[in-house]
Amino acid sequence: MAKQILILGGGYGGLLTALTARKHLTASEANITIINRFPTHQIITELHRLAGGTIKEQAVALPLQRLLGNKQVNIVVDTIKEIKPDDKKVITTSGAVHTYDALVVALGSETNYFGIPGLEENSMVLKSASDANRIREHVEARLDAYKASGNKADATIVVGGGGLTGVELVGEFADKLPEVCRSKGIDFSDVSIFCVEAGPAILPVFPKVLIERAVESLEKRGVTFLTGVAITEATKNTVSLKSGQTIESNTIIWTGGVKGNPVVGSCGIAEDRGRATVTSTLQSTSHSDVFLAGDCAVVFPEGGERPYPPTAQLAWQMGETVGYNLSVQVKGGAMDKFVPVFSGTLGSLGRKDGIGTIGGNNTQLKGLPASLMKEASNIRYLSHINGLSALAY
């Protein structure tokens, strides 16, 4: 009888698991079901462009039906409420109860507000296409309000967090807002864009020379970086900093931290600070019928003490390993160990500028070559998941 494989999450880890498992398992060997809270697979690495208004939602939200419908994968749009690994059950907010022979948990991460007073209530995040739409609409509405009232807080944007997400977002604002302001009859020099980072520098994954390049490029286009200062409190229209400075702003976007998904951290599988611990074959260290892919797992290099950073490229590769290992779980054989391949890191600084390190020897890229490479890496991913045709719906 066909085994029941249940995949939770239709992001990078979940989608790649489903696509790979189906390559190795026929429909008579396994029923594969994927449950995701959205009907779309979202290209999170490009969300800053939707938030800035340089691309449409269709470019970052691909219908799962288009990607998986012809692969004999059942798609359920629902939200996971509880995982009961000892009973082999998953319960959703709609009240449905799903059972499984093998479970894949690929539910990603959640925003970490680090307990900063007022931050969660008063900031927006960039984790989904709807978040990106909300940010774009909010920024435009505040600029309209600024035009009407002249209240500077409406023309001030504060992005908390100087990692890839925060920097790519301010890069998009720096590129797009001059045009938006022109269309509204606002002088762009009235707009203030702050990027606040508690650490000593933005983009700590990059070498110093590329960080300096990013700062120089974005400051020239109107971004102010405040580094080495933590946000200590946020209200509806102010951001307080550890330095004592208070910025009056009606637009606060928090990109400064992620934590494990609480549904995973609290379900009873072994975890480390909210992220599931895994074996070298990406099975839960406590439940061998539960596999993990993506940000909700913590993966250490062999013999290493620091876990790999949560990234899309890792989630994608974990999904492929898990997809294959599911076929071994069903049919027997030796499972693959997860061995990540790092192709590099690319960051966009707006449409025509970027930085990156690529290849085994960390070749540095900057300017147009880096942005073209970032574009190419997105196209490569889309083509890998057969997403290019899904874009044209």
Ligand X SMILES: Cc1cc2nc3c(=O)[nH]c(=O)nc-3n(C[C@H](O)[C@H](O)[C@H](O)COP(=O)(O)OP(=O)(O)OC[C@H]3O[C@@H](n4cnc5c(N)ncnc54)[C@H](O)[C@@H]3O)c2cc1C
Q: What positions carry a catalytic annotation?
A: 168
Nearer to ligand X, 165 or 240 (CB): 165
How does 213-229 read in b/e, with b if 16+ C-beta sit within 10 Å?
Answer: bbbebbeebbbebbeee
Minimum CB–partner distance for residue 345 and ligand X (Å): 7
Return the range that interacts with ligand X (CB under 6 A); candidates 3-11, 143-151, 267-275, 360-368.
3-11
* Residues 328 and 334 sit within 8 Å (Cβ to Cβ): yes
Nearest to 119 by CA among 225, 239, 208: 239
Question: At 123, phi and psi to the nearest 5?
Answer: -125, 160
Structure tokens at 33: 């079901």
Asked if 59 touches ligand X (CB under 6 A), the answer is no
Asked if 162 touches ligand X (CB under 6 A), the answer is no
CA distance 171 to 350: 4
Nearest to 376 by CA among 349, 350, 342, 348: 348
Asked if 94 touches ligand X (CB under 6 A), the answer is no
Q: Is 332 exposed, middle or buried (0-12, 13-18, 19+ CB in 10 A)?
A: exposed
Residue 272 is given by DSSP the state E
Asked if 165 touches ligand X (CB under 6 A), the answer is yes
Quick check: helix, strand or coil at residue 141? helix
User: What is the β-pairing status of strands 73-77 and 30-36?
Assistant: parallel
Subset of 72-91 contacting ligand X (CB under 6 A): 79-80
CA distance 229 to 240: 10
CA distance 297 to 273: 10
Minimum CB–partner distance for residue 333 and ligand X (Å): 25
Asked if 284 touches ligand X (CB under 6 A), the answer is no
Return the range that interacts with ligand X (CB under 6 A); candidates 181-189, 238-246, 267-275, 307-315.
307-315
Contacts with ligand X, 168-207, as mask; x by CB under 6 A: ----------------------------------------
Using the structure block, give the residue that is written with the tokens 């790092």: 342
Among 34, 315, 326, 355, binds ligand X (CB under 6 A): 315
Return the range that interacts with ligand X (CB under 6 A); candidates 8-16, 97-105, 185-193, 232-240.
8-16
Report which residue's Cβ sits closest to ligand X.
Answer: 11
Among 18, 21, 30, 44, binds ligand X (CB under 6 A): 44
Minimum CB–partner distance for residue 242 and ligand X (Å): 24
Instruction: Write out the residues near ligand X by the rule CB under 6 A.
Output: 9-14, 35-38, 42, 44-45, 47-48, 79-80, 106-108, 126-127, 164-165, 261, 263, 294-296, 310-313, 315
